[in-house]
Chains A and B, each alone.
Chain A
Amino acid sequence: MIISLILKKIRQAVTDLLPIILVIAFFQIVVLKQPLPHLGEVLFGALLVVAGLALFVQGLEMGLFPIGEAMAQALARKGSLFWLLFFAFALGFSTTVAEPALIAVAAEAAEIAGAGGLIDSSREALQQYAFGLRMVVAFSVGLAILIGVMRIIRGWPIHYLIIGGYVIVMLMTTIAPSEIIGIAYDAGGVTTSTITVPLVTALGVGLASTIRGRSPLLDGFGLIAFASLLPMIFVMGYGLLIFR
């Protein structure tokens, strides 16, 4: 029984990874005409990836989703708007502020701004700029989850908020310094990590299925959309404020 379950998970994981293996093999052998280097190491790595993915998916169903939904239900039953919104903000802020991808992007952005003469290129100034950027992105993700939760509670239609956000992004692009625009656009994508996404999704769906009159499909999704939109606006705002 357990063995057949494990085999099923592993078969799923192999299916998930098959496309990558095919693409790499095709380009390596047919296009670049080179043998696969370190074959043993690659196979060992692939084995780890399969085992890891199978374990992750199992943990997702057992732990991450139920925790997110349990928190959503408990908070909705408690009925305190303040504590719910505070939870939403803290979840977004705390999972983003130490995100390795964000730290890397912020450091790189500081290099660019320093080399372009936009900020003082001393080590201290660069670090300060990178730290400020991280704080701005983390704050905006927290605010995004908060707005998203508010939307689920009130039942606001998502498209007006998102389209409004798009219009603000485009307007700010016309006035923001060009060195920050690429970074701002990318900041939206790098903030949503593999553990945050399932948790935030479960929170949204849990809230929407607990609050009367909300549909899980129509109202439960959309939190991640806010979390990838708001950082763009705030990072451009940060650029406008700093580069003067």
Chain B
Amino acid sequence: MEFIADFSKLLLATCRDVLPIIILITVYQFLVLRQPIPHLRRLIVGGVYVIIGLALFLAGLDKALFPLGKIMAAQLSDPVFIYGADIMVSQADWKAYGWVYLFAAMIGFATTIAEPSLIAVAFKANEVSAGTISQWGLRITVAIGAAIGISLGTFRIVTGTPLYLYILVGYTIVIVQTFFAPKNIIPLAYDSGGVTTSTVTVPLVAALGLGLAASVPGRNPALDGFGLIAIVCLCPIITVMGYAQFMHWHSQRKK
């Protein structure tokens, strides 16, 4: 019973998310475009699938993944697990957090692979490029970028180094790569930053960031907890362009 209540709440929330889109499209159909939509029934069935599918997906995540992931993030960043039970530390030692960096990277990779937004963009990119961009190739490359980003972001929270330095270096790398990467990958690479951080990744990453900022000695959760998502957005741009550059270089050398 409790589950049915939770699920209807999520279903309602998803409907609310879709409502502005439905209103906008309907208003445009009747007032601006004034022409019938082809295959209307199929579109409506597809829309209903999307809403129910997303609500089921979120309900499952709430039940299985999120509680477990959040508990694990808290346990791994707990000073007792990291330094041992009897040692009191006032200064964080960044070398002691190896498991945290590894967990961050692996969970970042895994959640990005399951991210529905990325599945959608990879599908479209594959279709538009007539198959030259493979869906799994793009998704794995983006996921590696997200893994590096989350790992780097947790490292930043542990060391307390200023966020803008990471962003500045990241932007510089992206700008330099833009001038050397194959032209037709650039818009897709820029987009891949924004699609990484969505339904699955953000709640887990936020929990990890806030957990670390609260438990690492000398960090302020209000200030240091932010910024993780920004770094996660940046790294996939670099890996996608890097992969395209590598493939380009590789095929040139073979000739």
A interface residue numbers (CB < 8 A to B):
16-17, 19-20, 22-24, 26-28, 31-32, 36-37, 41-67, 70-71, 74-75, 78, 80, 83, 87, 90-91, 94-95, 97-101, 111-112, 115-116, 158-159, 162-163, 166, 169-170, 173, 178-179, 181-183, 185-186, 188-190, 192-195, 197-199, 201-202, 205, 209, 215-225, 227-228
Contact = CB atoms under 8 A, between A and B. Distances in A.
B21 A228 contact: no
21 contacts: A16-B113, A16-B114, A20-B65, A32-B76, A42-B68, A45-B64, A48-B64, A53-B116, A56-B49, A63-B46, A71-B25, A170-B167, A182-B227, A189-B202, A193-B17, A197-B121, A197-B198, A205-B128, A215-B184, A221-B125, A222-B191
A48 B54 contact: no
Given A63-B46, A98-B17, A228-B233, A192 B163 contact: no
A224 B194 contact: yes
Interface string B193-218: 11111110010000000000000000
Interface string B16-27: 111011011100
B85 interface: no
B49 to A, nearest CB: 3
Contacts of B30: none
Nearest to B196: A189
B223 interface: yes
Interface string B104-133: 001101110110110111011100110000
B124 A24 contact: no
A69 B6 CA distance: 34
Contacts of B49: 55-56, 58-59, 62-63
A37 B53 contact: no
Interface residues on B, range: 35 or more
B12 interface: no
B229 A55 contact: no
Contact of A56 (B38, B54, B111): B54
Given A61-B46, A178-B223, A224-B194, 4 more contacts: A16-B119, A78-B32, A94-B20, A186-B229
A32 B102 CA distance: 13
Give the interface SS of chain A, mostly helix, strand, loop or mixed.
helix
Nearest to B127: A205
Contacts of B25: 67, 71
A60 B124 CA distance: 10
Contacts of A100: 13
B119 A225 contact: no
Most buried by A among B13, B16, B190: B190
